[in-house]
Structure 1
Amino acid sequence: MSAPVAQEELPILEAVINIRNRLTALKKNRGDFIKPADVNQLYQAVVKQVTRLNEVRDDHTTYNNRLDTTLADVFNLLSLFFLTIGRTRECPATYSQIASMRQILIHMDESGVYNESDLAPFHRRLAELRNIVQHDMESGKHPPAMTKLLERQLNECENLLRKLQDSLAVLSPELIPIHERLVNIRRQLVALAAKETAREVAYANAYAAKVEDLKGKGSASSTESEASESDSRTPTRESTPKPDGHREKDGRESKDGKELRVKAELKPIQEELRKIDSKRVDGKFLGPGGTVPASQAICSSLLEECFEIVQEIRAQDESKNVASSLRPIYDRLSEIRKELEQLVLTRRWSLRETDLWNYSLSLQEIDKMRVDGKFVDAEGNRPEGQYVLLYLLRRCYGLIYRLLSSSEPVSEELMPIANKLSTVKKCLNEVLKYGGPFSPRDLYPYQLALHQIDSMRKDGKFVGVDGTVPEGQGIVMAHLNECHELLEMLKESMDDAEEEEYVDEDDYDFNDPSDDEEDEE
């Protein structure tokens, strides 16, 4: 439970809540592009309140009250705004990425399922984010209050990462391959459990829809005549649900078919687990010469957990993949995951980084429902389906982090132009790759597209609706110049082909009498 807010901090809390409301209202406005001036104004207001807060607080004391949680929300949302307007290389934009990374690292530490290759990308990304913060700190582009906060956040992430790295350091070299394989197997098992649950939900929904449809047909026929009503009560091949062992037309799988498929997918995984288990002697993995390497507990516990997940998957029937008390959480996580995966595919055209705020809030609310790392029901019990829910939760966190990390330093106002240029460049590269012959008509659509984009510039720059110069000019201009270069290369190849054809015609002398004599012969 958070501590109460001190009396001297109440005016700051009120101001921060007001800023959060203004940010939320700005986020909801989809009619206009987000203006950098509006974002900068709110950013300066936040910095002012943080400066006031630093004056009344002790640097050596850790605080956690409503003001801190509200400030975290404001910084997270403000960070998404900086990403949206294309200022990705400035320290405020790093806050949401650091927060997302910290959440993933906490879950990795909790699960204990990771290896060196999983940690390497976080090391690289942390170094990149620290360089951004240090550059702004040295240049004085952002106030010390902001850079100091981000330094603290980065240090927390690095401490978490170091903790994970240290736990892997105790692994003896002989056990590293076994540990990495067990980590991958566990991920396969949890993904399989989640896939089975998704199938069962889909089958259940399809079956319920079919039953409702049959009921509707039966009630409609009953209004026509009493005879048809009696017929509708008579079991028929169409109206009677098929017994297990068959597959419905709507794709609902029978119990026997499901069991066979699950066994087929589980069999190679089980065989590999048994093969790994057979390497143990008296419950311990042995090294060269029969020695017992250190860090047995890590690999053994991971192996036992894999066997437990296998048993759980095998024991679950159609209705028990996720307990009914946890089904609302499962449905919500599945919906979030589906929407985030769609955004990963279409982010260049449809993503506004501030949209990720709602997903982050939903995941935080679901995460807070856990007790000692597990989801519980109203009676405090831990129902079936924990692995599936944790897999979906961590998958959603990973997708958000992926979307944040892939954000380009281009304002949303210039993103349509950047996307169009990217498409034109891709087409020109394909045309150049496969060669001609070309005609001016073939290249006309590309010339027209580039001419339209060129005409949008004023004094060599793309200008926003409000007359400002949006972020991302360099990237867009680089794409535009590259497209022009590719187009010129295609024109040159077209001219070369015409010259060769002209030379071939000149080689033939139409007045040469020897040609006529040869023809007569």
Structure 2
Amino acid sequence: MPYTDIVPQDEASVYASLVQLRSRLSEIRKDSKYSNNREILNTYQSVLDSINQLKELREIEGHSSDAPPNKVDSLIDEIFQLLSLFFVSFGLSDTAPATYASLTTVQRLLEHLNESGVYTQQDLEPIKSRLDEISEIIDSAQDEEDNTTTNEEIKLLKNKLTKAYDEYNLMAKKISDLPPEIQSLMDKLLSVKYQLLDLMSNNNGKSNGSSKSHQERNVERLSKELANLQSKCEKAIENESSDTSASEAVLKGILDDCHDYLRNLQIGQDKIDPHLRHTYEKLVKLHSILSDLLITRRWTLRTVDLFNYQRELNDVDQLRVRGSFGNSEYKGQSILLYLLRSCYAIIYKLLESSESVSEALRPLHNQLSTVHRCLLDLKRSGGITSMRELYPYQMKLTSIDNEAVDGIFMVDGEIPPGQATLTALLSECFDILHELKVDYYDKHASNDSENSKTANVIGTKALQESNYDYNNVEEEYNEGEDNLASYAASYNSDCPTDAE
């Protein structure tokens, strides 16, 4: 339900206090090194107090629960989105407040999928799993006696969760009655459809000869694949014993869309109406940034930065009138919707990929993850051939371990969440390092044992055949002339001692 741009007079004081809290959160978000989770918890509690005050005011005024949400509700939603991202960034992704942003994104994804009318069970399964996870987190928060979540937010989250489940159940019911063969064909047709949309969105501007040639090859390949799938769809509908109207309508809708996209690509028709060019370019830029973050998120992404992208997408989404951007006759509606939904899907993936480690500890966690991966690669490749191979890892792990004070990693006097995860990863790295050392010494011990046996046999024979008098030692021995002794001395002075 859209928000109205109205602030009732009796709610003005609550709105003013919420604006101040929103401004403070915006200031905090700009600080890339901010790690004071206590202030965030205090702000969160202040927001809950304002919500309770608002509830009391509305009960006095006899506010109807069916009334459209106003500007105060819009601000509360915005603040909860931002607070939720802060909770995730502090490594508290398994707490109820942190689920708000994820739940909102899931709900928006479901709305867009349902609006498109074309989806498969594979599209819905991960969403259902995430909804179940969120439900467990909310239930566990409700059962805890000492927690930061109040009954008001539990009700708010459960209300959003119920709406998301209702949307999911409605969508799941639509495809549950389709035969498995029809669902399999839908999967393949949707794959072709998304590839065509991807070609249209990526090649809408000016292209050089090489990219045009690549596009032509892809168009030809997809054209053949589509013709083959259309033949299979016709046979599947003919062989279906039950009522084929539902199956035929779904498959025909996807096939028609694919043929339209393919025709536009083949004739080189301008795919975006000039009236939608600005919106298209904005979505392409957003999609490119978010796609890059999927690769570089471990080093470059601050979770709270997703708030900006969420707002930009929401602003674009609000431009639609009855599902279309501007006039429904404008060309390029499908491409814009595809880009919009893809951006929502990427934000969902970024939220779900967040780890239970505070962003203040993320640099250390990234370094440990890299060392852990390298040590595992060494172990899988058969171990080390020299102890020197372990020196860089030994030094890095020791330096990280030295940053802990009494086993706790402090940042600006605070104890960021994620201590257990970091300590466990550090311990595992030391364990792998120790195993590599043990394997190295075991191998060399067995090799030395074999070599010593061979040396004893040769030495015995040499002693038997030699006439050398070992008791006859020269009285004057000049150590300076002994090249072997001088080499050993210089080597021992130059070489560092093996790290423990």
- Report the alpha carbon displacement of residue 293 of structure 1 after superposing the two structures with TM: 6.0
User: Does 2:214 match 1:267?
Assistant: no
Whole-angstrom CA distance in 2 between matches of 1:358 and 1:290? 49
User: Does 2:406 match 1:454?
Assistant: no
User: Equivalent residue of 2:325, what SS?
Assistant: coil
User: Does 2:386 match 1:433?
Assistant: no
The code of the aligned residue for 2:209 comes to: E
Q: Tell me the alpha carbon deviations over residues 371-403 of structure 1, each in whole angstroms, 9 at most, x when there is no partner.
A: 222222xxx463222222222111111111111
8 Å Cα contact 1:170-1:295 kept in structure 2: no
List aligned pairs for 1:412-431, cutoff 5 A.
Answer: 412-431=359-378
Name segments (4+ residues, structure 1) moved above 6 Å. Answer: 514-518
The code of the aligned residue for 2:47 comes to: V
TM-score by length of 1: 0.82
The code of the aligned residue for 1:55 comes to: E
List aligned pairs for 1:398-409, cutoff 5 A.
Answer: 398-409=345-356
Query: Quick one: which of 274, 278, 292 aligns to 1:324?
Result: 274
Whole-angstrom CA distance in 2 between matches of 1:404 and 1:290? 42
User: Equivalent residue of 1:322, what SS?
Assistant: coil
User: Does 2:259 match 1:307?
Assistant: yes
Residues 263 and 428 of structure 1: CA distance in aligned 2, closer, same or farther (over 3 Å): closer
Residues 106 and 499 of structure 1: CA distance in aligned 2, closer, same or farther (over 3 Å): same
1:61 maps to: 66
Q: Tell me the alpha carbon deviations over residues 255-305 of structure 1, each in whole angstroms, 9 at most, x when there is no partner.
A: xx83x6544322333333334444677x99222469746442222222222
2:43 maps to: 42
8 Å Cα contact 1:325-1:383 kept in structure 2: yes
Whole-angstrom CA distance in 1 between matches of 2:386 and 2:435? 13
- Report the alpha carbon displacement of residue 462 of structure 1 after superposing the two structures with TM: 1.1
8 Å Cα contact 1:286-1:293 kept in structure 2: no
- Report the alpha carbon displacement of residue 87 of structure 1 after superposing the two structures with TM: 1.0
1:242 maps to: none
Query: Quick one: which of 484, 490, 494 aligns to 2:430?
Result: 484
1:390 maps to: 337
2:411 maps to: 464
8 Å Cα contact 1:321-1:385 kept in structure 2: yes
Residues 422 and 7 of structure 1: CA distance in aligned 2, closer, same or farther (over 3 Å): same
Whole-angstrom CA distance in 2 between matches of 1:169 and 1:270? 29
Q: Tell me the alpha carbon deviations over residues 297-329 of structure 1, each in whole angstroms, 9 at most, x when there is no partner.
A: 222222222222222222334xx2323322221
The code of the aligned residue for 1:333 comes to: L
User: Does 2:160 match 1:153?
Assistant: yes
User: Does 2:205 match 1:253?
Assistant: no
User: Equivalent residue of 2:397, what SS?
Assistant: helix
User: Equivalent residue of 1:457, what SS?
Assistant: coil
- Report the alpha carbon displacement of residue 477 of structure 1 after superposing the two structures with TM: 0.7
Whole-angstrom CA distance in 2 between matches of 1:324 and 1:292? 41
Residues 280 and 155 of structure 1: CA distance in aligned 2, closer, same or farther (over 3 Å): closer
User: Equivalent residue of 1:495, what SS?
Assistant: helix
Whole-angstrom CA distance in 2 between matches of 1:363 and 1:399? 12
1:243 maps to: none
User: Does 2:47 match 1:100?
Assistant: no
Whole-angstrom CA distance in 2 between matches of 1:494 and 1:37? 48
1:248 maps to: none
User: Does 2:141 match 1:136?
Assistant: yes
Unaligned runs of 5+ in 1: 204-251
- Report the alpha carbon displacement of residue 502 of structure 1 after superposing the two structures with TM: 2.7
- Report the alpha carbon displacement of residue 180 of structure 1 after superposing the two structures with TM: 2.5
2:497 maps to: none
Whole-angstrom CA distance in 2 between matches of 1:288 and 1:133? 44
1:345 maps to: 295
Q: Tell me the alpha carbon deviations over residues 472-508 of structure 1, each in whole angstroms, 9 at most, x when there is no partner.
A: 0111011101001001111111221332233123212
Whole-angstrom CA distance in 2 between matches of 1:73 and 1:469? 28
The code of the aligned residue for 1:370 comes to: R
Residues 136 and 275 of structure 1: CA distance in aligned 2, closer, same or farther (over 3 Å): same
The code of the aligned residue for 1:496 comes to: D
Whole-angstrom CA distance in 2 between matches of 1:416 and 1:493? 31
8 Å Cα contact 1:106-1:160 kept in structure 2: yes
Using the TM superposition, name which of 386-395 and 353-362 deviates more.
386-395
1:375 maps to: 325
The code of the aligned residue for 1:103 comes to: R
1:23 maps to: 25
Q: Tell me the alpha carbon deviations over residues 208-232 of structure 1, each in whole angstroms, 9 at most, x when there is no partner.
A: xxxxxxxxxxxxxxxxxxxxxxxxx
The code of the aligned residue for 1:156 comes to: K
Residues 391 and 290 of structure 1: CA distance in aligned 2, closer, same or farther (over 3 Å): closer
TM-score by length of 2: 0.85
Residues 2 and 484 of structure 1: CA distance in aligned 2, closer, same or farther (over 3 Å): same
Query: Quick one: which of 292, 313, 322 aligns to 1:363?
Result: 313
8 Å Cα contact 1:35-1:85 kept in structure 2: no
